[in-house]
Amino acid sequence: MSAAPVIRLSGIGRSFAGDPPVTALHPTDLSVRQGEYLSVTGPSGSGKSTLLHLLGLLDTPSTGSYELDGIDTGGLRDRDRSTLRGRRIGFVFQSFHLLPHRTAEENVVLAQVYNRSPRAGRAEAAREALRLVGLGHRLDALPTTLSGGERQRVAIARALVNRPSLLLCDEPTGNLDSASAEAVLERFDELHAQGYTLVVITHDPNVAARAGRRVAIRDGVLAEPEAVR
């Protein structure tokens, strides 16, 4: 018996009240298997952020259902959604959101504190996550002494430290120069090769091209490339 997809969207959509109501995401289906590397592209205002918020359990759909690792998220209480999000999803944003007066290791450890991971082993897990992104030699560095690419890699380590099922990335190279962006994308390639499931939301076609599978969103409609005009 095959494992459930990491993501299964069935007729999921999101509308906002208004006169007239605004449909940010039309009902859509999407399935992402364990180990897939998916990019979602689209212009500003296309619905990318709405989709991100739904996938990240930061918002609830108006219609349809969302299963994460086979768990139907629709009937969960807010507390249970937060717990599921903390345990199953790692976020990487355009802004690094690192605490400037905490070391790289301490920033990664804090992700485990918020997730209520057992105290024993937090530091070693943080060090291992930083080694995974090539920063084992910068454990004690403050974010202010790191390059933009290194700070984003600390953010990736923070996203990985709780061993999530899904790495959800929102414009992860948006604040980086081309060399730093390439270094981050190489880390994504390595994580994909190791079996991580990645969903990268981006407006950059060069970033999207690194993914093994690509979908596009236009005017709230999500489709595979050949179906997008």
Residue 15 lies in a domain: yes
Residue 105 lies in a domain: yes
In Å, the largest CA–CA distance within the chain is 56
Residue 149 lies in a domain: yes
Instruction: Indicate yes or no: pTM above 0.85.
Output: yes
Burial of 21 (0-12, 13-18, 19+ CB in 10 A): exposed
Number of domains comprising the chain: 1
What dihedral angle (degrees, nearest 10) is formed by the CA atoms of 138, 108, 153, 4? 140
Residue 113 lies in a domain: yes
SS3 126: helix
Residue 217 lies in a domain: yes
Each residue's pLDDT expressed in tens, for the chain with a length of 229 residues: 467 899 999 999 999 988 888 999 999 999 999 999 999 999 888 999 999 999 999 999 999 999 999 999 998 999 999 999 999 999 999 999 999 999 999 999 999 987 777 888 899 999 999 999 999 999 999 999 999 999 999 999 999 999 999 999 999 999 999 999 999 999 999 999 999 999 999 999 999 999 999 999 999 999 876 444 3
Residue type, 126: A
Q: Write out the residue range of the structural domain in which residue 90 sits.
A: 7-227
Strands 7-16 and 89-92: unpaired
Residue 1 lies in a domain: no
Residue 2 lies in a domain: no
Residue type, 26: H
CATH no. for residue 175? 3.40.50.300
Task: Give backbone dihedrals phi and psi of 172, rounded to 5 degrees, phi first.
Answer: -65, -15
